[in-house]
């Protein structure tokens, strides 16, 4: 059982510079196991840059990233997947010419398997069963043989989530999972993520602009603006924080 008082993910003094631009400036926060933690802020706040450092697509200029008590600041992206860190992207990263089932099966082989074309032709029975379980969970079991590129946007979002879950993550990084979804799809996503955290102990860190989802499911929220952390706390505190309200002025109501 996870120690709920020890952080699964720790960000300490994270700094990212691109030339003369500082995208993230001395950012620190911790994510506890089995919790849903949101990272929010106006466009350009540095949220996705932070995600790209955590998932090891970017190298930070300074600071440290720890996962499960180990320094992973210089790990490769593939190393993070092997440790149980999965992510989705703002821009969908699906294999559009493969079927829905094949996209999820690829996720089950993310621990360094070779010969994926061969594996997809003759997948391990347990992997196929697990893939079907995930597709049932996200409402795509009736689309097993459909090409991923032919799905509507909402279903593609759910397919990317299912593929991320295929590695059985300890930490799930979601980059704007509700962007472009309809209200009923957001409600479904709310239920899936809440269930993952509360029943299965999956830790979720999400970047999101849809405050309806953020305020509903988050245990804790970190707010960024221009690369800095300006506030952190439970949803009730964040909703009424003057610094957060000021950062969002003209960019939508926090209760939307």
Superfamily of domain 1-84+171-256: P-loop containing nucleotide triphosphate hydrolases (3.40.50.300)
Q: Within the chain, which residue ranges are assigned CATH 3.40.50.300?
A: 1-84+171-256
Burial code (b: 16+ CB inside 10 Å, e: under 16) for 56-76 equals: bebebeebebbbbeeebbebe
Spell out the residues 6+ positions from residue 206 whose beta carbon is closer than 8 angstroms to its own.
36, 37, 38, 39, 173, 174, 175, 177, 193, 214
pTM of the full predicted structure?
A: 0.89
**pLDDT tens by residue, the chain, 256 residues:** 445 679 999 999 999 999 999 999 999 999 999 999 999 999 999 999 999 999 999 999 999 999 999 999 999 988 998 899 999 988 888 999 999 999 999 888 654 444 455 556 556 788 889 999 999 999 999 999 999 999 999 999 999 999 999 999 999 999 999 998 999 999 999 999 999 999 999 999 999 999 999 999 999 999 999 999 999 999 999 999 999 998 876 455 565 5
Q: How many Å apart are CA 244 and CA 119, to the nearest integer? A: 49
Torsion angles phi and psi, residue 112, rounded to 5: 100, 15
């Amino acid at each position: 059982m996870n120690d709920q008082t020890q952080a699964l993910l720790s960000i300490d003094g994270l700094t990212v510079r691109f030339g003369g631009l500082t995208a993230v400036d001395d950012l620190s926060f911790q994510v506890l196991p089995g919790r849903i933690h949101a990272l929010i802020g106006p466009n350009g706040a540095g949220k996705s840059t932070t995600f790209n450092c955590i998932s090891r697509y970017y190298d930070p200029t300074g600071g440290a990233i720890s996962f499960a008590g180990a320094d992973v600041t210089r790990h490769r992206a593939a190393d993070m997947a092997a440790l149980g860190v999965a992510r989705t992207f703002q821009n969908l990263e699906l294999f559009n010419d493969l079927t829905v089932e094949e996209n999820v099966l690829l996720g089950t082989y993310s621990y360094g398997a070779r010969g994926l074309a061969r594996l997809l032709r003759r997948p391990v029975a347990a992997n196929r069963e697990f893939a079907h379980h995930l597709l049932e969970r996200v409402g795509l079991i009736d689309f097993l043989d459909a090409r991923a590129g032919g799905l509507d946007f909402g279903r593609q979002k759910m397919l990317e989530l299912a593929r991320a879950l295929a590695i059985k993550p300890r930490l799930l990084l979601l980059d704007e999972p509700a962007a472009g979804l309809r209200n009923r799809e957001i409600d479904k996503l709310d239920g899936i993520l809440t269930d993952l955290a509360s029943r299965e102990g999956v830790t979720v860190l999400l970047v999101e602009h849809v405050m309806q989802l953020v305020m509903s499911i988050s245990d804790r929220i970190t707010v960024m603006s221009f690369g800095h952390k300006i506030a952190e706390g439970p949803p009730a505190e964040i909703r009424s924080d003057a610094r957060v309200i000021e950062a969002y002025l003209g960019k939508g109501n926090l209760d939307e």
